Structure 1
């Protein structure tokens, strides 16, 4: 069993004066949700997610050696323009990871980041953003430690990403990632995500069309929502359910049972929002159009027997999940009946992806 101290480097074998990396890292959509966390970004229950392909953050990291300082030295750009509102989150991230990346105060960094999807609208932009930043920093550490293995690189990148945003640890690799200690999953860990490799062909190239019901910022942040699981009257039962559902969905993903997949994934989505509606204070992130879409999906599935289903993250947007071989029918249904419930009729076509990629 690994511990955080395993990711503290002893010494570096190389030096580097300056350079630049650029990585993309995708968002992910949880199938079994985690809701509630302990200290140091440790999940209260394990989760499993599809790594996405098109909804991603692209981040470049330029670095140049400076005299070691007491404070971190960095400029932050979002879509090429200064973004001071992001600075506190990056500052906190650097403080959390400094012990694991002791070179951070030896360099001035320019972090330039952009999203392919709306920020803070329930499509896990913090997950893709922190994963992209983590793999960039790991690329610099790999220059300083030339003997680093790919396995260590990915594991530590996931570990670091988690310290910025819990679900970010599921965005480093793909196609399906498990995060959190789970008795029936070998090598599972609260510290980083691990790939689930026994994916049935039914789930290869699985599609996720994201219906943008509300592109605005959520009125309750995920961080606050997680905190409200402390003392929640149904918390312990929910954590037990998540463990059981993770066992079930591993079997489903391995044997290709699409009907059971639909039942479990939709139940998990509604359970997540039930936890929000029964916390104190209580809150609702779904919008009327979210419910309209859900009801239309149920009617369509009953009428056609096409195994299309929905899931939700901590927001109003709806992820419509379906196999690639029914794409034509489902996309026609989405265009005919669902886009009317989207803000400005906007939606994003996505699918299972492979994780973070080095662009330069």
Structure 2
């Protein structure tokens, strides 16, 4: 598919007003996307677990204007309060997707959104937030009688395509359980334009994988992901890093099929450390991990060596640690977390999550 396939040809209905709500999850990348080209095109492919409990719920109220204007008109409420500082990102999102959603200037919108987890703390709140909003926009397009959107596969592809234009990793937050994004020669139908469900065999151990997120630092990151991505332009190690991502995706095909946890751990932890190595070796360089992040990593290594339990870590673009482990070891790993790792979390806080099925439309109670 090309970008032109997402430009609607005609609408058959006139909708005056309405409301739609979607709940969309965050995701945690196993092979990391770091670096992008123009129009939110990834410099390398990635694959992620869709999460179940870390979600954004977004409602879109729409009222047709008496006359179409040349502006996007909307109000934004985050967790019940007007949030003016979020508006520029939504404005930019609408500007980027107008070509593919030409009805946006026909309506006045009220956007209500809330997270089940801390905003801007490295749990990909932009991924769940932008994917939820993209799904709401697609539901409006469907109500308007777009000639293409009745096809469910197309609906999700275009929603993923739109979400990517708001936040790259958002295109991986619509479906579950494993989502791949970015063109890769050995993954059929992979695309830089949208995420796809991982097309190969997945061992059952990965379908219930646990992710306990240790909140080391809930504050706003000192350097945004957008800035970090841009610093990959001209990065001295960028070419090798992008090749590494392709290679690791190839290696994971056998890992996902066989349930080889030893190899899974080696790839996932290497990817996490490589991501932060790219940050520390960019120009200008920066560090998002904290001393307690390193303490937790070392504790996990010591625990794994002592118990032989296949528990590992990954990191997103922040200080928080995602502790990954099979469901069969949940009780022992949670005991370890409570006894030895919670002390390194801000206010002792952590979130228990698990691989999930993807976004859901919220149907109003009758």
TM range (shorter): over 0.9
* Alpha-carbon distance between aligned partners in 2 of 1:255 and 1:13, rounded to the nearest angstrom: 49
Correspondence list, 1:237-256, <5 A: 237-256=240-259
Question: Structure 1 runs of 4+ off > 3 angstroms?
Answer: none
* Alpha-carbon distance between aligned partners in 2 of 1:65 and 1:73, rounded to the nearest angstrom: 11
Q: Does 1:266 align with 2:269?
A: yes
Deviates more, 1:277-286 or 1:194-203: 194-203
Correspondence list, 1:140-289, <5 A: 140-145=140-145, 148-197=150-199, 198-289=201-292
Match of 1:82 in 2: 82
* Alpha-carbon distance between aligned partners in 2 of 1:70 and 1:282, rounded to the nearest angstrom: 41
* Alpha-carbon distance between aligned partners in 1 of 2:265 and 2:286, rounded to the nearest angstrom: 26
Deviation at 1:302, TM superposition (A): 0.4
Among 338, 341, 344, the residue aligned to 1:341: 344
Deviations 1:330-353 (A, max 9, x none): 000000000000000000000001
The verdict on how the C-alpha distance between 1:69 and 1:208 changes in structure 2, with shifts beyond 3 A counting, is: same
Match of 1:115 in 2: 115
Match of 2:94 in 1: 94
* Alpha-carbon distance between aligned partners in 1 of 2:73 and 2:222, rounded to the nearest angstrom: 32
Q: Assess if the C-alpha contact under 8 Å between 2:213 and 2:323 holds in 1.
A: yes
Match of 1:44 in 2: 43
* Alpha-carbon distance between aligned partners in 2 of 1:16 and 1:254, rounded to the nearest angstrom: 47
DSSP-derived class of the 1:178 partner: strand
Match of 1:290 in 2: 293
Q: Does 1:125 align with 2:120?
A: no
Correspondence list, 1:314-329, <5 A: 314-329=317-332
* Alpha-carbon distance between aligned partners in 1 of 2:257 and 2:97, rounded to the nearest angstrom: 35
Deviation at 1:145, TM superposition (A): 2.1
Deviation at 1:202, TM superposition (A): 1.3
Deviations 1:130-153 (A, max 9, x none): 000000000010111265210010
* Alpha-carbon distance between aligned partners in 1 of 2:14 and 2:208, rounded to the nearest angstrom: 42
- TM-score normalised by L of structure 1: 0.99
Deviations 1:212-231 (A, max 9, x none): 00000010110010001000
DSSP-derived class of the 1:328 partner: helix
* Alpha-carbon distance between aligned partners in 2 of 1:204 and 1:139, rounded to the nearest angstrom: 28
* Alpha-carbon distance between aligned partners in 2 of 1:21 and 1:267, rounded to the nearest angstrom: 41
Deviation at 1:73, TM superposition (A): 1.0
Deviation at 1:77, TM superposition (A): 0.4
Question: How many residues are aligned here?
Answer: 359
DSSP-derived class of the 2:339 partner: helix
Task: Give the gaps of 5 or more residues in structure 1.
Answer: none
Match of 2:22 in 1: 23
Deviations 1:84-107 (A, max 9, x none): 000000000000000100110111
- TM-score normalised by L of structure 2: 0.97
Deviations 1:272-312 (A, max 9, x none): 00000111111111100000000000000000110000000
Task: Give the gaps of 5 or more residues in structure 2.
Answer: none
Deviation at 1:3, TM superposition (A): 1.0
Match of 2:303 in 1: 300
Q: Assess if the C-alpha contact under 8 Å between 2:8 and 2:146 holds in 1.
A: no
DSSP-derived class of the 2:220 partner: coil
Q: Assess if the C-alpha contact under 8 Å between 2:9 and 2:146 holds in 1.
A: no
* Alpha-carbon distance between aligned partners in 1 of 2:144 and 2:317, rounded to the nearest angstrom: 38
Q: Assess if the C-alpha contact under 8 Å between 2:214 and 2:342 holds in 1.
A: yes
Q: Assess if the C-alpha contact under 8 Å between 2:173 and 2:358 holds in 1.
A: yes
* Alpha-carbon distance between aligned partners in 2 of 1:62 and 1:121, rounded to the nearest angstrom: 28
* Alpha-carbon distance between aligned partners in 2 of 1:192 and 1:140, rounded to the nearest angstrom: 20
